[in-house]
Structure 1
Amino acid sequence: MKRTAALVLATVLVTSLSTMQAAEAGKPAKPDPAPKAPSCGAKVAKDTGKPWTCTFADEFDGSSLDSRRWVPQTTASGAPSLAGDCWVDSPNNVAVANGTLRLTSRREAAPFTCPSPLFGAYTTQYTSGSVTTRGTFDQTYGRWEIRAKFPNATVTGSHSALWLYPKYATYGAWPRSGEIDIAEFYTTYPDRVIPFIHYEEAVDDGSYTNTRCMVADPSRFHTYTLVWTTRKITISIDGATCVDHTIDAADPLTGAAPFDQPFVTYLTQSLGVGQNAFNASVTPLPLTTEVDWVHVWS
């Protein structure tokens, strides 16, 4: 409390001094500069012909993660890791350099204890990286473009994901409140990237996913795009439509529900489970997902 009071007092004194100096010079005090509006590059038009409005953009041109936009996920803070690795906030796992965000799964020099409020502390030798906009940015409906490349591996063991998750569990526990996986890359399927829309739909017509979104080389940069409206969710890769799904939730939900709520963006690199399970003797490490940029419009 004393430190906070001192900081406030110091701020007041500095501001007052600046105002007095400006007045003495016969000039009005300059206001603080307004924050810059996000820039998503060239204008993009909606189907109606009207332009989308840029609401979020990060080109990762700096030398560190922008804390105004992103928060590293950590297992210690409650982010669940199902593969036995530990999400940590370390430059070895979450780094910005040479114009990209790098999220890495790696083997540490020695086993360590990973604290987990969800599962209890456990011992592991593997760490991974993930970031989220939870607490900094969320949006309902719009257009997301993420340019990314996934690990150069063709055997089981790595899971990368570009995805959206609801800010609040308005309609209940997963999957009732929804989830939008723009792109998931499992190295056991190295020739494709899989989108998936999770919720309880009225009719299971299969249009909520597509396991045949073939990508010549996912380890090279591709642009993954989501267009989310009150009626439909469309996901494309390099401009080619992969999923075109009409929202139709099971009773009692109606209209765009559960996709009528604010969702948060996640970028994730982790070890795999299930049919894509990590195998220390087979899976190559380190494994890195790189993100060139993220653009969001409303």
Structure 2
Amino acid sequence: MALLTTGVVATSTPAQAVTGCGGVVKKADGTPWTCTFADNFYGTSLNREKWYPMTTVESGYAINGDCYFDSAQNIRVTGGTLKLTARRTSRPLQCKSPTGGWSSSYTAGSLSTVGRFSQAYGRYEIRAKLPTSKVAGAHSAWWLWPERQLFGGWPYAGEIDIAEYYTKYPDRAIPYVHYVRRDAPESPGASNNYCMVTRPTDFHTYTLVWDKTSLTISYDGKTCLRHTISPALGILGLLKPGEPFNRPFTLVLTQGVGVNQNSPTSRTPFPASMVVDYVRVWS
């Protein structure tokens, strides 16, 4: 995925210890992680001190001609969960963006911590259940995006997709680490298309552990992708060791419609929702 941030000022304060991450979680060396971000979605409204709703009209953000709104139809907190929903409209609407607009038949929801929270390294976890559809059309994602584009545009600045879910493939979620590796510039990053998830419409945990040399992604505690950060290229040439994954990234949650082989058809059931129990981050 690629995030457009036209009109969004990406500034945040350094991560500090907070509460809300549940019981003590320990690192591989036995020392405890420190909770730095937590939203358990209590109450009946979105905590806008933690989340920024990504809208097409402000940021230009869109995936496949869908239109992102800050609306209760697409972003809702209720019953101790966050629900992000993609919908098919009864008639086409005019989707506005900073660079113009287009006619769209789909609305969608996405949240980012841009301007609120960012962090380099640590442990990142979501507990969520995904859309019930088993045919192409809906796309859910839990991912990290660089706070600043220091090494060039996408994919040079990096992107960490902890879990992407395509309803065309309802038995799995897919992690993807995007950047331009020096040893494989034509095939950037790393992925695993065989991270099977039993009944993704039930709640599961999707977790990233990120350190200075590697990224490890697991689903329900089972390692799905372990990637050692390779020497990388930026728009101006070779980057230093660890770059671009040595800078703060923001959190992003997205429920939209699919693209290419996962594009919606008349058979795709809408609305399609990702339901999130919690989002937690540790350092």
Whether the TM-score (by the shorter chain) exceeds 0.5 is yes
Instruction: Please tell me whether residue 225 in structure 1 is matched to residue 211 in structure 2.
Output: no
Q: Select which of 11, 15, 32 maps to 1:51.
A: 32
Residues 42-69 of structure 1 deviation map (CA, whole Å, 9 limit, x = unaligned):
1111112211100000000110100110
Q: Select which of 241, 248, 254 maps to 2:223.
A: 241
- Alpha-carbon distance change, 178 to 163 in structure 1, aligned in 2, over 3 angstroms: same
1:292 is aligned with what amino acid?
D
* Paired residues of 1:148 and 1:289 also in contact (CA < 8 A): yes
Q: 2:59: which partner in 1?
A: 78
- SS of the equivalent of 1:105 reads strand
Q: 1:42: which partner in 2?
A: 23
1:236 is aligned with what amino acid?
S
Q: 2:116: which partner in 1?
A: 136
Q: Which has the higher strand share?
A: 2
Q: Select which of 273, 283, 287 maps to 2:272.
A: 287
Supply the distance in 1 between the matched residues of 2:273 and 2:248 (Cα, whole angstroms). 29
Q: Which moved more, 1:108-117 or 1:218-227?
A: 108-117
1:43 is aligned with what amino acid?
V
The alpha-carbon deviation at position 173 of structure 1 amounts to 0.8
Supply the distance in 1 between the matched residues of 2:255 and 2:212 (Cα, whole angstroms). 30
Q: How does 1:253-292 map to 2 (within 5 A)?
A: 253-279=239-265, 281-292=266-277
How many residue pairs get aligned? The number is 262
* Paired residues of 1:140 and 1:262 also in contact (CA < 8 A): yes
Q: How does 1:7-46 map to 2 (within 5 A)?
A: 37-46=18-27
Q: 2:71: which partner in 1?
A: 90
Supply the distance in 1 between the matched residues of 2:191 and 2:17 (Cα, whole angstroms). 37
Q: 2:159: which partner in 1?
A: 179
The alpha-carbon deviation at position 128 of structure 1 amounts to 0.4
The alpha-carbon deviation at position 125 of structure 1 amounts to 2.8
* Paired residues of 2:181 and 2:189 also in contact (CA < 8 A): no
Supply the distance in 2 between the matched residues of 1:257 and 1:107 (Cα, whole angstroms). 40
Cα RMSD, aligned residues only: 1.7
Residues 169-202 of structure 1 deviation map (CA, whole Å, 9 limit, x = unaligned):
1111100010000000001111110000000113
Q: How does 1:170-209 map to 2 (within 5 A)?
A: 170-204=150-184, 208-209=190-191
Q: Which moved more, 1:101-110 or 1:237-246?
A: 101-110
The alpha-carbon deviation at position 96 of structure 1 amounts to 0.2
- SS of the equivalent of 1:82 reads coil
Q: 2:135: which partner in 1?
A: 155
Supply the distance in 2 between the matched residues of 1:58 and 1:216 (Cα, whole angstroms). 25
- Alpha-carbon distance change, 220 to 87 in structure 1, aligned in 2, over 3 angstroms: same
2:70 is aligned with what amino acid?
D
Any stretches of 5+ residues in structure 1 without a counterpart?
1-34
Supply the distance in 1 between the matched residues of 2:239 and 2:189 (Cα, whole angstroms). 19
Identity, % of aligned pairs?
Answer: 50
* Paired residues of 2:176 and 2:189 also in contact (CA < 8 A): no
- Alpha-carbon distance change, 37 to 82 in structure 1, aligned in 2, over 3 angstroms: closer
Q: Select which of 201, 211, 218 maps to 2:193.
A: 211
- Alpha-carbon distance change, 78 to 206 in structure 1, aligned in 2, over 3 angstroms: closer
Question: What TM-score, normalized to structure 1?
Answer: 0.85
1:268 is aligned with what amino acid?
T
Any stretches of 5+ residues in structure 2 without a counterpart?
1-15
Supply the distance in 2 between the matched residues of 1:64 and 1:221 (Cα, whole angstroms). 21
* Paired residues of 1:207 and 1:243 also in contact (CA < 8 A): no
* Paired residues of 2:181 and 2:188 also in contact (CA < 8 A): no
Supply the distance in 2 between the matched residues of 1:80 and 1:278 (Cα, whole angstroms). 19
- SS of the equivalent of 1:275 reads helix
Instruction: Please tell me whether residue 127 in structure 1 is matched to residue 107 in structure 2.
Output: yes
* Paired residues of 2:127 and 2:205 also in contact (CA < 8 A): yes
Q: Which has the higher helix share?
A: 1
Q: Which has the larger radius of gyration?
A: 1
* Paired residues of 2:122 and 2:210 also in contact (CA < 8 A): yes
* Paired residues of 1:232 and 1:246 also in contact (CA < 8 A): yes
Supply the distance in 2 between the matched residues of 1:264 and 1:135 (Cα, whole angstroms). 9
